[in-house]
Amino acid sequence: MKQLRLSKTIIIMMIRDRIAYPGRLIVDTFGIAARCGVLLILYWYIFNVKGGEINGVTFQITSWSMFLYFAFMTLRLRDLASSIMQDIKSGTVEILLSKPVHYLSYRVWWQFGAGLYPFFVAAILGTVALTFLVGIPATMSSSFFFLSLVGVFILSSILSLLIYAAVGLLSFWIEDIKPLYWIVDKAVMILGGSYLPVALFPPLMYKIAIWSPFGASQFITHTVYETWKQSYLEMFGIQLTWIFILGFIVTVMFSRAHKKVSVNGG
Amino acid sequence: MKNELKFALHTIKKNLASSAELRTSFLMNIFGMMINNVSFVIIWVFLIKTAGNIGGWTSADIFGLQGFVALIYGFVFSFGAGLKEMPRLVSSGIFDQFLLSPKSLLGRVATSSFSASAIGDLFFGVVCLGIYWSMIGASMEQIILTLVLCVFATLAFIGATVSIQAISFYFTDPDSVTRSLFELFFTPSLFHGGAFQGATRFVFTFLLPSLVIGTLPVEAVTNLSYQKVVLIGVLSVVWFVLSLWLFKKAVKRYESANFMTFGQ
């Protein structure tokens, strides 16, 4: 109950904070829209040149898959790693650890709350724009799609937060985690199907994308494909397995890191 | 001019020495960035494997593209990382200290910071261009052309970056605006060049020089197109001169910070 109150308070506070700066939101949304838009125009050309279909997938499906990746990115869950690193580098972690609130819960909810408003704005605007431009594929017009989308969204968010929390917590042992963060982030970007949609992956790369935590954290991009109905249970299973494994790793890392810090000490 | 260059080199040397002091972090930044950069090569090479050649582009051209872009980005932002810091310097009022310096204002700002990770980009660019040359079996003419185009593309990159960062003087919170505009300019330069045709090619060549720093140089070298070399040269010089003018004009809008540390 206490945890729920904490999460609610932080999320409301962060949403109010984001609403207070509409200029920043407009600029950020424009940036993502421009990047995603340019990419979609390029793929539109590629699909036209290749006769409208590549690997049995149409441009319509591809564009929705890539859009889901970019919309999910607006949650900025990956910033959790740099927030934790900043707390450790600046020493703020000492103060936060002495509070009667679990440090990781606080950081996770803070991150989630900070991205929620931009996510909804980008998702709604993008959905409207794509619906008018390319239309809605048949795979997205069933209630099964919406229900499974909600499920995969929750699991993807938890998995992403765990991946970036593990990277961030390494700051307790490594002086500069940025290089590691770049590698993990790019693994998520490639295997998640950002610039190259998952349907266009070569077979080996597709297997890596399915079985690695980096690809699993972006299963949201798989929901628009026709294969989703057959594979969703397996994918939920993979996500849950990684959540348990990474949850355990993060818990161990945090308890060790906690012992390493002497709060209010020298 | 000689004195300015001497001073810039001195600052770069000091920045490099100070950065290399934390050796592990310095090396990790360099190698981490090199591994990080492999991502775009993987993405576009796999696209070519799946979809075949697009716009006449092969895997070799992808290496050439990443080589040009990484080399130029690495060169400019390793030694001139201060350019990226301009929004922060302006909004916080730290820009004051540069105005007081008797040296070239833009040169002083650019060399005020150093990025170790950009050295990784620079090395990665050299490696990619080496692979590109060996894949296309480059002649001496193509190698020389690559080097000449690196100079032109660097001018265009500096031109576009300075023009975008100069916008910092027009906003109270310039960080988001400049970051978004820089991404709009830079991200397309990393995309598969063969897919830019018609309107997109026009926009990202003449309105934003994204293709001038990678795609057009690769096509000029691969096809030995001197027409494209001239176009790149002209656009680079225009962007560079324009950026100097824009920067000079924008600086006039700067309102100095006072003792209360109020910037802008």
- What was the ipTM of the complex prediction? 0.81
B52–chain A Cβ distance below 8 A for any pair = yes
A84 within domain boundaries: yes
**Candidates A18, A28, A45, partner chain B, best to mutate (most B CBs within 10 A):** A45
Residue A131 lies in a domain: yes
Report the number of distinct structural domains present in chain A: 1
B164 touches chain A (CB under 8 A): no
Using the Cα atoms of residue A148, residue A154, residue A158 and residue A163 in order, give the sign of their dihedral. positive
Give the separation between CA A247 and CA A253, rounded to whole angstroms. Answer: 10
Q: Distance between CA B20 and CA A157 in Å, rounded?
A: 37
Residue B252 clears pLDDT 80, i.e. is over it: yes
- Min Cα separation A12/chain B (Å): 23
Asked if A200's CB is within 8 angstroms of B46's CB, the reply is: yes
Residue A89 lies in a domain: yes
Q: Give, for B83, the enclosing helix (H) or strand (E).
A: none
Q: Structure pTM?
A: 0.86
The pLDDT of residue B264 is above 50 = no
- Chain A residue at shortest CA distance from B171: A23
Q: 3-state DSSP call for residue B54?
A: strand
| A61 found inside a domain | yes
CB pairs under 8 A between A and B: 104
The nearest CA of chain B is from the CA of A75 a distance in Å of: 16
H or E segment to which residue A130 belongs:
helix A103-133
The H-or-E segment that residue B146 falls in is: helix B140-165
- Give me the tens of pLDDT residue by residue for chain A, a chain 266 residues long: 777 787 888 888 888 887 877 777 787 777 778 888 888 888 898 888 888 888 888 999 999 999 999 899 888 899 999 999 988 888 888 888 888 888 888 898 888 888 888 888 889 999 999 999 999 998 888 889 999 999 999 999 999 999 999 999 998 888 788 888 989 998 999 898 888 888 888 888 899 999 999 999 999 999 999 889 999 999 999 999 999 999 999 999 999 988 877 655 44
Residues A179, B51: C-beta atoms closer than 8 Å? no
The shortest CB-CB distance from A190 to any of B39, B49, B50 is to: B39
Position B145 scores a pLDDT of: 95
Residue numbers of the domain that contains A22: 2-260
pLDDT reported for residue A7 = 81
Supply the pLDDT for residue A29: 78
Considering the domain boundaries, does residue A18 fall inside one? yes
Tell whether A101 is covered by a domain: yes
**pLDDT of the residue at B204:** 93
Q: For residue A59, which residues of chain B lie inside 8 Å, CB to CB? A: none
Q: Which of B21, B39, B189 to mutate to test the interface with A (most CBs of A within 10 A)?
A: B39
Which residue from B25, B46, B176 is facing A202, i.e. has the nearest CB? B46
**Within-domain flag for A265:** no
Nearest CA in chain A to B54: A46
Cα–Cα distance for residue pair A142/A126, rounded to 1 Å: 19
Q: Does A56 fall in a domain?
A: yes
Q: Which of A18, A49, A204 best tests the B interface by mutation, with the highest count of B CBs <10 A?
A: A49
Angle at B71 between CA B68 and CA B75, to 5 degrees: 140
CA distance B131 to B125: 10
* pLDDT tens figures, B169-221: 888 778 888 888 898 899 899 988 888 888 889 999 999 999 999 999 999 99
